Chain A
Amino acid sequence: MIIELKKFGAILNSRQLGREAFLAFSSNLDKCTEAEKIYIDFSGLSSISPSWADEFLVPIFKKFPDKVILKKEKDSPVVFVTNILEKTNNIKFNWE
């Protein structure tokens, strides 16, 4: 499964919107088979804030820590967001 974040909007910020996105998308996650990986695709985003990602990305990662893989983009500023999420949640994301 590939989650294309751009499908949630070009600029993803605020906890409120991140939480709404997670609730709306949760049913899709249940369709994920046991062997399937969940790829997170940041391409095409104009911006994403840690608050949004904390409410969307982190719960998905905590539910499926071995399945979630972040798709790497060269020189992407998204690492500022993932770094702070790793520090504050004491987690380590898997990258492609």
Chain B
Amino acid sequence: MKKELKINEAANFLGVNPDTLRRWDKVGKIKPLNSGLGNHRKYDFLQLEYFLLNNIDYFAKKWINDDSSNLPNDLFYCPDSYIFQGRINKLKKELEKAGIDNNLSFLILAITGEIGNNSFDHNIGNWSKVVGIFFSYNIEKREIFLIDKGQGIFSSLKKVIPNLSDDFIALEKAFTQAISSRYPESRGNGLKFVKDVVINNKINLYFQSGKAYLILDNKNKEVKIKKAKKYFKGCLAKINF
């Protein structure tokens, strides 16, 4: 990638409209190298990367709301579990660098690995629009995002529990009962483990699949499923620590 990008190239890299970049320039959200020179705006590539990683929330929402098969930015996209594993290793280094306690880091890596690998394991051959996951984090903000546009918990569990009625029951079962949707595998412990770790440590989890979501932390130890404002077919997890 070039070091300096024209406005169209920068917009393309961020996955936004050039007008959005012009608007962001006016409000000071992201300034080009030569601010105020109309179409000749140029952007520093490293600055754009930094901007992406500081606004994961915005780009995650944008990708979630995009019904096309567009991929997330390369910085966020893990097309397969091997790339995901590589990025987990990088996360470990970032946690160390930030001075996060070893025991907390151990657990953050374990629950991130469980949620991300669940997406790969449960969607093999069943991805809907995009194969792979959105995985990114900002250590300064203490946040990690894991999103897949797969079949979601309900469709996944319905294969082994045919009378399962909706997203709400499916999400509750996924976090409270040992059921594997990978028939004929008999085990399913990933999200139960995630729950145990989250409610017993200084970690907060938002998890949504379909219309259902839950929030867990050391004050919200019970699995209480709520109705999300917006439907999302796959799985969306945000971890704060």
Binding site for B on A (CB under 8 A): 10-11, 13-17, 45-51, 54, 75-78, 80-81, 83-85, 87-89
Q: Please determine whether A88 and B85 come into contact, CB atoms closer than 8 angstroms.
A: no
Whose C-beta in chain A lies nearest to the C-beta of B81?
A14
Contact bitstring B168-202, A, C-beta under 8 A = 1, else 0: 00000000001000000001111011001100100
Bound-state CA distance A76–B106 (Å) is 9
Residues of A within 8 A of B110 (CB): 13, 47-50, 77, 80-81
- Residue among A49, A75, A81 with most chain B CB within 10 A: A49
Q: Please determine whether B105 and A46 come into contact, CB atoms closer than 8 angstroms.
A: yes
Q: How many contacting A-B pairs (Cβ < 8 A)?
A: 89
Task: Judge if B109 is at the interface, Cβ distance under 8 Å.
Answer: yes
Bound-state CA distance A16–B105 (Å) is 22
Q: Please determine whether B92 and A10 come into contact, CB atoms closer than 8 angstroms.
A: yes
Task: Judge if B166 is at the interface, Cβ distance under 8 Å.
Answer: no
Contact bitstring B63-95, A, C-beta under 8 A = 1, else 0: 000000000000000000100010011001000
Residues of B within 8 A of A47 (CB): 92, 105-107, 109-110, 113
Chain B residues 97 to 112 lying within 8 A of chain A, measured CB to CB, are: 103, 105-107, 109-110
Selected from A10, A78, A80, the residue in CB contact (under 8 A) with B196 is A80
Binding site for A on B (CB under 8 A): 81, 85, 88-89, 92, 103, 105-107, 109-110, 113-114, 117, 120-121, 178, 187-190, 192-193, 196-197, 200
Q: Please determine whether A80 and B187 come into contact, CB atoms closer than 8 angstroms.
A: no
Residues of A within 8 A of B81 (CB): 14, 16
**Interface of A, helix, strand, loop or mixed by DSSP:** helix
Bound-state CA distance A13–B88 (Å) is 10
Q: Please determine whether B196 and A51 come into contact, CB atoms closer than 8 angstroms.
A: no
Bound-state CA distance A22–B117 (Å) is 18
- With both chains docked as a complex, state the minimum distance between the C-beta of B180 and any C-beta of chain A, in angstroms: 9
Bound-state CA distance A16–B124 (Å) is 12
Residues of B within 8 A of A88 (CB): 178, 187-189, 192
Given contacts A50-B110, A85-B189, list 15 more A-B pairs with CB under 8 A.
A11-B85, A13-B110, A13-B113, A14-B113, A15-B117, A49-B117, A49-B190, A49-B193, A51-B189, A76-B103, A77-B106, A81-B110, A83-B196, A84-B192, A87-B189
Whose C-beta in chain B lies nearest to the C-beta of A14?
B117
Bound-state CA distance A90–B89 (Å) is 32
Whose C-beta in chain A lies nearest to the C-beta of B182?
A15
Can you list 29 A-B pairs, Cβ within 8 angstroms, ordered by A?
A: A10-B92, A11-B85, A14-B121, A16-B81, A17-B85, A46-B105, A47-B107, A49-B110, A49-B114, A50-B114, A51-B113, A51-B114, A51-B190, A54-B189, A76-B103, A77-B103, A77-B107, A77-B110, A80-B197, A81-B193, A83-B196, A84-B189, A84-B192, A84-B193, A84-B196, A88-B178, A88-B187, A88-B189, A88-B192
- With both chains docked as a complex, state the minimum distance between the C-beta of A25 and any C-beta of chain B, in angstroms: 19
Bound-state CA distance A21–B24 (Å) is 50
Q: Please determine whether A80 and B107 come into contact, CB atoms closer than 8 angstroms.
A: yes
- With both chains docked as a complex, state the minimum distance between the C-beta of A50 and any C-beta of chain B, in angstroms: 5
- Residue among B113, B178, B188 with most chain A CB within 10 A: B113
